[in-house]
Structure 1
């Protein structure tokens, strides 16, 4: 049997797939990227202009070593960009002292000796003009955090991958994949490709392309809103930080106004279930808009309330809220990243490096044991 044309095929070239494509190509692999849409599209989970990146991580302290490497890689990527894809602004996060956010931040900071500043509500109001949190709440300021320009990250990784010799086919929908001896075959609506290794980073298409995990994955519709900033204190140029507010059992987050769209605000909690990406409702949800507007009025009192832009995206959720990263169960030729649960883009750079490690070397130095696919390999 002749050798396959490709060392590795990457299915899905969003945030993580584009990074994997680049790292594989940079190591000399013959690599092909496949995506059903154009690069930087708005149909999945890697769009919406900005994503937060922070080292002090309330979700789980085991992410911190991965985030350290992610920061390094984003800084390196900045050197290849006309406009920085990673912008350090600091992140202000607030909530009740006993809440999930603040207790998780303190736990991560202590476990990894990370710098942070604990602030009272009065100190927040004094230091950050335009921000107001209730007197019974507190805040933590992470000076190293900031945001990533999502679509720019994807496009830049793809451009660099091509410069390293990668091939990239867009407008091709992957129908299915299967093992053929020691190799893997991928069939699209146009062609058939064979490679020694397969990397699948499917975003919200994971339930279809990764059937063993389908019983454990669910899709949530998420709305992103942009408001008139109202006051220049909420602009990037004025030093406005990225922000996150825990309010009861709900969490909202947002970004400074970085362009003419305005001040971006969204809810991290909640979300409406979606059966499949094809069924995503992209219209403005009046209740969600009202909730976002109320949050702006309460915590950002100088901001305008006029909606200037809106879009939707999807979270692909796992039961425990943590990623799936590693080899597909019982098929070592296939490596996967799925179920990013609404907090995965910030580590896309290092996830791409990890996928290259696994595809080329079957192992990685990065600590990914807590994200093992095996925890969801059994029936739900």
Structure 2
């Protein structure tokens, strides 16, 4: 491969969504170039610090539910292809103060789509998983067929599959600009040269702002923290195989967590909040702020007290948030040969296998069988007239 070579599709940013797209493109015979400023899987984006929850009874409506079900099928295909287990059906338990969130609508949606889900009282939750301490008025929803994905292994598996299918990968290459003309080719300028393709997919995660003004999306990058805690007295009730993945919705915020996997400790993260981060700025390490551990420990102490032992380790990652926490999967408003995938808002990884397939379909056929209306940029008031060049 050499700079200046022509490709059918270039993927800029090859974390979870981009690497999946690269595989789906190359497996269909498309001349595919993958470009990343790091060497995926890596610790500079949103996919590290395994694992990630996968659920199907989703609150975003039918478009998200159908995409989640397709993603589950594609993760299983990737497992078969890679020979490695990536998806673990631990079940996922969602618990919440009903003044914050109620599960009735999601359970109704689940039933319509054939998804196993049951509503539980706080008493039933405490009986089935004795590690919980919950007020009597809390409610829950349990999905027995949900679970978690080993995120870094997933990205590595898609990388291997993409390269095996013929994709080329350039790592350590910072994309510093994109040039496009309506109906023409696209040039991606990087620190390792210029590359040309008929179409480009940009899945830049927290770095989307670096492409302004060519791409101007309402995506805000946020520093997020997670911690792994050792259960008290080596309490085995929280071990994988016994305890489900979980979410907690309280008046103090929303949290998500995982059982102790191979002695890793119970993992907990906060979904809301976080400090703004801008590309090029240092990302403060875990423990730099009092709330890094404090927020997590407070929730564990209140609701999973036997899991609130010694902090084994902490990590930081990035969310890239849209104003409505929904995804962006759409064409550039002015250049139809530039596809944009971003703003996955801390809940996107589970969908990566299906989002990659959708992006490949859009790039190669111009259409998708999925309803992509909820993911359009126009919902934020971004239109063609915001750009100099008309489509």
The answer, yes or no, to whether TM exceeds 0.5 is yes
CA contact (8 A) 1:236 1:257 kept: yes
CA contact (8 A) 1:58 1:100 kept: no
**Of 307, 312, 316, the match for 1:308:** 312
State yes or no: 1:245 paired with 2:248: yes
State yes or no: 1:36 paired with 2:40: no
Query: How far apart, in 1, do the equivalents of 2:121 and 2:280 lie?
Result: 42
Aligned to 1:280: 283
CA shift for structure 1 position 304: 4.0
Aligned to 1:72: 73
* Corresponding residue SS for 1:216: coil
Moved more, 74-83 or 201-210: 74-83
* Corresponding residue SS for 1:133: coil
Aligned to 1:222: 224
Shift in CA distance, 281/346, structure 1 to aligned 2, threshold 3 Å:
same
Query: How far apart, in 2, do the equivalents of 1:100 and 1:141 lie?
Result: 15
Moved more, 334-343 or 213-222: 213-222
Shift in CA distance, 97/257, structure 1 to aligned 2, threshold 3 Å:
same
User: Please, what TM-score do these two structures have when normalized by structure 2?
Assistant: 0.91
Aligned-residue Cα RMSD (Å) equals: 1.8
Aligned to 2:375: 371
Query: How far apart, in 1, do the equivalents of 2:214 and 2:129 lie?
Result: 47
User: Please, what TM-score do these two structures have when normalized by structure 1?
Assistant: 0.94
Shift in CA distance, 271/108, structure 1 to aligned 2, threshold 3 Å:
farther
CA shift for structure 1 position 98: 4.4
Shift in CA distance, 188/101, structure 1 to aligned 2, threshold 3 Å:
farther
CA shift for structure 1 position 134: 1.3
Unaligned runs of 5+ in 1: none
Structure 1 residues 233-268: Cα deviation after superposition (integer angstroms, max 9, x where no partner): 11113x210010101151111001113431100111
Shift in CA distance, 205/45, structure 1 to aligned 2, threshold 3 Å:
same
CA contact (8 A) 1:4 1:196 kept: no
**Of 329, 334, 345, the match for 1:330:** 334
Query: How far apart, in 2, do the equivalents of 1:140 and 1:133 lie?
Result: 14
Aligned to 2:115: 114
Unaligned runs of 5+ in 2: 387-391
Aligned to 1:152: 153
Aligned to 1:262: 265
State yes or no: 1:357 paired with 2:353: no
* Corresponding residue SS for 1:68: helix
CA shift for structure 1 position 97: 2.8
Moved more, 186-195 or 258-267: 258-267
CA shift for structure 1 position 334: 0.7
Structure 1 residues 202-237: Cα deviation after superposition (integer angstroms, max 9, x where no partner): 000011125465462211111010111331111113
* Corresponding residue SS for 2:224: strand
Query: How far apart, in 2, do the equivalents of 1:213 and 1:103 lie?
Result: 39
CA contact (8 A) 1:261 1:309 kept: no
Aligned to 1:193: 195
Query: How far apart, in 2, do the equivalents of 1:167 and 1:147 lie?
Result: 29
